Amino acid sequence: MKDGSHLYEVERRVCHAERPGFRISELQISPTQRVPWHCHSNVQDTFYVINGHIRLFLREPEEEVLLNPGDTYSVRPSRPHLVVNGGAQSATFLVLQGIGEYDYIPLF
């Protein structure tokens, strides 16, 4: 799937840059919102937290990561991951995706 953004709701989504093989998006999620389990065939997701806290759940291997403002974490291509708000307030973060052709593979 080329774009999975229609599969989940966020408070705000902004694309700051998009070029062949690379893009930067900003997402803001409420304490009850999440980016559901998914993976990407070719691109790495690098998360950078602007404000609030986000929690990443990962598989292969299983891991849980709490990110605070200023923290970064990269998820390799094809590694399943879930993104949730890790606090009581909205969280805003950047996702740098590349290098390669972007896809979104929903997992259940």
Q: What is the pLDDT of residue 7?
A: 81
Q: Domain total for the chain?
A: 1
- Order of strands across the sheet with 34-39? 63-67, 54-58, 81-85, 34-39, 105-106
pTM of the predicted model as reported, rounded to 2 decimal places:
0.92
Q: What is the pLDDT of residue 1?
A: 63
The answer to whether residues 43 and 77 touch, using CB atoms and an 8 Å cutoff, is yes
The CATH number of whichever domain residue 42 belongs to comes to 2.60.120.10
Low-confidence ranges of the chain (pLDDT < 50): none
Structural domain that includes position 92: 5-106
